[in-house]
Amino acid sequence: MYETPFLGKLCELETDEQTMRQCLESCSHLRQEEIGHQLALLREQYAQSMSKLDSFIQNGRSPAIVALAEAQKEYYQKIQQITEDALPHYLHSETSTQKEDIREARMLYAEYSIDFARTTILQALIAVLDGMEMQLAWKQEEN
Amino acid at 47: A
Number of domains in the chain: 1
Look at residue 79 and tell me if it is in a domain: yes
* pLDDT tens track for 75-122: 999 999 998 888 888 888 889 898 898 889 889 999 999 999 999 999
Look at residue 55 and tell me if it is in a domain: yes
Q: How confident is the model at residue 2 (pLDDT cuts 50, 70, 90)?
A: low
Closest residue by Cα to residue 38 from 83, 29, 54: 29
Look at residue 103 and tell me if it is in a domain: yes
What is the domain extent for residue 122? 7-142
Look at residue 56 and tell me if it is in a domain: yes
**Whether the Cβ atoms of residue 4 and residue 132 lie closer than 8 Å to each other:** yes
Q: For the chain, give the number of residues.
A: 143
Look at residue 101 and tell me if it is in a domain: yes
Query: How much is the pTM?
Result: 0.74
* pLDDT tens track for 33-74: 888 998 999 999 999 999 999 998 999 899 999 999 999 999
